[in-house]
Amino acid sequence: MKRIAVLTSGGDAPGMNAAIRAILDQGLHHGMEVYGVYYGYKGLVEGDFRLLSVHDVQHRLKMGGTLLYSARFPEFSQPEYQEQALTQLRKHKIDGLIVIGGDGSFQGALALTKLGFPAIGIPGTIDNDIPGTEYTIGFDSAVTVALDAIDKISDTAASHERTFVVEVMGRSAGDIAIWAGVAAGADAIIIPEDGFDMMEIVERTRSGRRSGKDHSLIILAEGVMKVDEFVTRYTTIAQEQDVRGIALSHIQRGGAPTARDRVFAQLMGAKAVDNLINGHSGIYMGIIQERLATFDIVETLKKESRSIRQDLFQLNKDLTDRDL
């Protein structure tokens, strides 16, 4: 291969820039030109290709977001836009494409692979919701940001002896809620992968107060319901509690990536280039037991569900099961 391209698609995630940097450096190491496709699949269709240089990425390792920008482009699911993308790739003499994003982004990479164009995915999403890999770029940073905010909220909750319900991101996945909730010592964690009983949640916080706690924390994954709705339902039962709700929202997607995100992003980026050079396509890079692994995009997208850290979720229940 003489010329490859990289794009970022869907929601931004801390560590995307680190992956782009590694792709460029590894490409240069192999004597290739590396092009950035700006604005995701929209830019791919419109031909927004720009040759990347070391200058473009030299200060980006520590920065969140994506230097290539991102744009939602659901139209790419239509064959006519896929053909336009192929035309642009051939026009710019691109030999292979690396796509950084979530499952929707992988759908696009798969479509190109089926049309005969080499494409490889790198999981970049704070949601950690890609089946197969245990880890996606941006997840660790999002948990770290969420935990920092929850710790601050806990301070004011304790000062006023309040119950706080904190809504975290994750779309239809509860991973951020589980990890941040366990790390913060939450009284309850509510996730879309597991049902909940409101009365049981109330009794759990009441149990904490009886045991000597001066405040309560409930971590709510956004895929369950919005925090205002949850607080309304919760307070109809726990009328004696002073309850506040807050949604952390997009602060979880920004900021400098953690060391873990930077390292894994660079491992995945460099390995994706190597796989393209070796003729592989229709796969994505991931992590299993702290090691790089490859997964088939077709098999991944066929899976209807993904596993969560059930041990951590159960740990939270065990640690807060006082006198229920």
Kindly report the CA angle at 59 between 58 and 60, in degrees rounded to 5? 100
| Contact indicator for 216, 187 with CB cutoff of 8 Å | yes
What residues have CB less than 8 Å from 208, skipping those under 6 apart? Answer: 187, 216, 320, 322
Is 129 a known active-site residue?
Answer: no
C-beta separation of 124 from 33 below 8 A: no
In angstroms, how far is the first alpha carbon of the chain from the final one? 63
CB 128 within 8 A of CB 253: no
Q: Among 8, 27, 162, 14, which residue's Cα sits nearest to residue 72?
A: 8
Sequence-ordered strand ranges (E) for 48-111 = 49-51, 96-101
When computed from its CA atoms, the radius of gyration of the chain, rounded to whole angstroms, is 22
Taking residue 169's Cβ as centre, other Cβ atoms within 10 Å add up to 23
Helix (H, G, I), strand (E, B) or coil at 105: helix
3-state secondary structure 133-156: CCCCECHHHHHHHHHHHHHHHHHH
DSSP E strand boundaries for the chain: 3-8, 33-37, 49-51, 96-101, 119-123, 163-168, 188-190, 216-221, 243-247, 283-288, 291-296
Check: CB of residue 191 under 8 Å from CB of residue 208: no
Contact 226, 144 (CB under 8 A): no
Nearest-angstrom CA–CA distance, 206 and 199 = 10
Catalytic residue among 127, 140, 175, 187: 127
Active site residues: 127
